[in-house]
Amino acid sequence: MSDQNLQPTFNIQRIYLKDMSLEQPNSPAIFLEEEGPNIEVAIDVSNDNLADGIYESSITITVTAKIKEKVAFLVEGKQAGIFEVRNLPEGQLDPLLGIACPNILYPYLRANIADMVTRAGFPPVHLTEINFEVFYQQRQQALAQQANGSLAAH
Phi-psi sector, 119: left (phi>0), alpha (psi -120 to 50), beta: alpha
- The span from the CA of 11 to the CA of 83, in Å, is 6
51 within some domain: yes
Task: Count the domains in the chain.
Answer: 1
Do the beta carbons of residue 90 and residue 101 sit within 8 Å? Answer: no
* Amino acid 107: pLDDT: 97
CATH number of the domain bearing residue 32: 3.10.420.10
2 within some domain: no
- Give per-10-residue mean pLDDT for the chain (154 aa): 72 98 95 91 96 97 95 97 94 94 97 95 91 92 82 56
52 within some domain: yes
118 within some domain: yes
* Amino acid 95: pLDDT: 93
91 within some domain: yes
* Amino acid 130: pLDDT: 93
Q: State the SS3 of 74-129.
A: EEEEEEEEEEEEECCCCCCHHHHHHHHHHHHHHHHHHHHHHHHHHHCCCCCCCCCC
66 within some domain: yes
Q: Which domain holds residue 146?
A: 7-153
Q: How far is CA 23 from CA 63, 73, 117, 125, in A?
A: 11, 6, 10, 15
1 within some domain: no
* Amino acid 1: pLDDT: 46
Task: Give, to the nearest 10 degrees, the angle between helix 101-119 and helix 132-153.
Answer: 100
